Amino acid sequence: MPMKYQRGNVYLKGVKTKKWYGKFRVYYKDRSGQEVCQTKRVVLGAKSEMKKWEAEKKLEQITAIANGSGGKTSLALLADDSVTFGWFVEERYLPTRRGRWRVATKKSTEFEIRRYLVGKFGQVPLRELDPFQLQMWLNKLAEKFSETVVRHAYVNLRAILKMARKLKFLSENPAEDLEMPETREVVRPIISAEQICTLIDGVENLRDKALLCVGIFCATRASETFGFTWKSYLGDRLLVQATAFEGEFYEGKVKTRSSKTAVPLPEDIRPVIEAWKKVCEDTSPDALMFPTFGRGRRTGKKVPFHSKNFLRCKIAPIAEKLSIPRKLVTFQVMRRTLGTDMQGHGSLKDTQMVLRHASIKTTGDIYVQEIAESTVKAINSRTRAVLAARKNVDDQGTPETGSNGLQNEAQASGDMLEKKRAVVVEINAQTDSGHIHIAEEDVAKKGENLMIREAVLNNLETQRAPMGSCLRIAAS
């Protein structure tokens, strides 16, 4: 154990210039958790510049920092150079955390930790990590990768070093004050109603059509959709009781407790499910609703789809033929689209219940791309306030426009154009000089407004023959 009240030893050394030197012990913890002691020597200062008691006080401070935080040395053992970041992740952090993660979470999280964190700091001793180094690396990561990658790296790094501090491998957590940097804007696309209808009509296989309808109109997660069994189908709702990931079925495993909430099944979708149920080979309670055939060791068995294989092989080719971008044909886009569309049909709480989020903040921040009505009113009010200043130009002899002058001018311009196109001026007059004919294209050339009519009439008055004239203006 480290000496609780270690003060070290101060001594003089030197021939021409005498200096105070300090000697003390530093205690480390190796990979096996055993205590390792090393003797350190430091220069405290020249004898001419400080007294011995000042040198002893300085050494005490150095000793405290080397063995732990605080004015006195801590009982915590620092990690030695053999305890690298990579060793701690593989031998301590991941074995401790794996039991808490779902299969999908385990695969993605371990991949991200090994690629971004261990790949960068794997050979660095834990005690050599410092806050500045970590923050600079995180900032550079934000320049190249999306918000999701950077935020996961940020969260994982803090969690790993927090555990290292808790297990006494570090005296302080260098990631405690890390800040999440600004990242590239995330584009979260949605699929339009026209594209949804076109895609559904293009899918001919009844099983695939039913599965797609559940994903689009019930907004279930991919793992939930492929994990549905016929006992989950209750006619007007679906119960999430299991999940499927990469073709493997996991009974009783769901993402969160809120995921077990019943999923309402729209009335217009129920006939599609019923039609599939009539032709499905196995509709027993424990049978999968949307099965595929197994391969290899599972040959002859009905197994869940691999979600990426289903979309790539069954849906993506149809979407490409229909000119629907492949990036829109994902279960996450389907969930986001429903969340966004729901703002016009219900409250944010209704959307949360449909998406089954534990926190309404997740619903509002990620899945519902909502523009509040108050925001629309505010921007309209500000625009009208600015345009209201255009009333002042009326005093200068220009046409009156009002607070919504841009709209009035645009409408007037549109009306004028339509009248020019619709009005056909055809003037036939019997005069001594002959026959006069003015057609639509002549009107468009000779005037920018309908004042051409007055000019034509005035011209006729001067050329009118005693027999009279005939004027016909036809508008459609």
Query: What is the per-residue pLDDT across 104-132, written as a single tens digit (0 to 9) for each?
Result: 788 889 999 999 999 999 999 888 899 99
Q: HEC states along 88-127? A: HHHHHHHHHHHHHCCHHHHHHHHHHHHHHHHHHHCCCEHH
CA nearest 319: which of 332, 309, 328? 328
> Tell me, what's the pLDDT at 268?
85
Write the burial class of residue 280 (CB in 10 Å: 0-12 exposed, 13-18 middle, 19+ buried): middle
Residue pair 220/214 in contact by the 8 Å Cβ criterion: yes
Q: Which residues of the chain have pLDDT under 70?
A: 1-6, 27-36, 65-81, 256-259, 346-354, 356-476
Residue pair 220/180 in contact by the 8 Å Cβ criterion: no
Percent above pLDDT 90 for the chain: 22
- Looking at residue 205, the DSSP 8-state letter turns out to be -
CATH number for 193-367 (one of 3.40.50.970, 1.20.1090.10, 1.10.443.10, 1.10.287.10): it is 1.10.443.10
**How far, in Å, CA of 320 to CA of 323, rounded?**
5
Give the number of C-alpha atoms closer than 13 A to the C-alpha of residue 311, restricted to the C-beta side. Answer: 17
**How far, in Å, CA of 139 to CA of 118, rounded?**
17
CATH class of 85-166: mainly alpha
Residue pair 153/112 in contact by the 8 Å Cβ criterion: yes
> Tell me, what's the pLDDT at 161?
94
Tens of pLDDT along 155-165? 999 999 999 98
C-alpha distances out from residue 31 to 125, 169, 243, 329, Å: 11, 10, 39, 48
| Residues listed for the chain | 476
φ, ψ for residue 34, nearest 5 deg:
-80, 150
Domain with CATH 1.10.443.10 in the chain: 193-367
> Tell me, what's the pLDDT at 120?
93
Write the burial class of residue 118 (CB in 10 Å: 0-12 exposed, 13-18 middle, 19+ buried): buried
Domain with CATH 1.10.150.130 in the chain: 85-166
- Looking at residue 251, the DSSP 8-state letter turns out to be E
Measured from the Cβ of residue 360, the count of other Cβ atoms closer than 10 Å reads 15
> Tell me, what's the pLDDT at 346?
63
